[in-house]
Chains A and B, each alone.
Chain A
């Protein structure tokens, strides 16, 4: 079974631009979560999608948005990039987002904003 894949793996953008990151979950998984990882703030939850609906959202500004497609693939978009958006963005999938379920993480997309 293929794992969670994220594209691209590395990205360099400049302030003010926008970026779209993609995540393909494990086959059969319908819950996809996104996290931002930085040295200063650690791992922070961005949002979770289940069956094309955003079910939970973390404490991030509206510049951060996402969506999920019918095949469970998910994208997240960051508009008007700021220097502080430089981070490793991790995607995780699970079958339904249940309490006891294991989340499987992708390798992440490393975004550098100049």
Chain B
């Protein structure tokens, strides 16, 4: 299958600071990538669709000014959590795929806001 990487795998930040998470497709080009968050023992919740060269589309209830998404190239999408607060602590996962019906997930980024 295709490979998606994420960086960092774990980040701790102080409340009020911003954190950037990178998602890279290593062996395919992705015009579209997806960002999810997952709370412990819960399912993945789609946050937004990242579109190369255009604005991201956000799911209902997701603050676009808080979760900034930039899809600068066909292999890189970034999620920036701005002015992070403890309630933003979660597991953030991206996905992409060479075909729309085959999605490959990154290893995830665990964000802890103190």
Note whether A and B form a binding pair.
no
Q: Which residues of B contact A (CB under 8 A)?
A: none
Interface residues of A (CB under 8 A from B): none
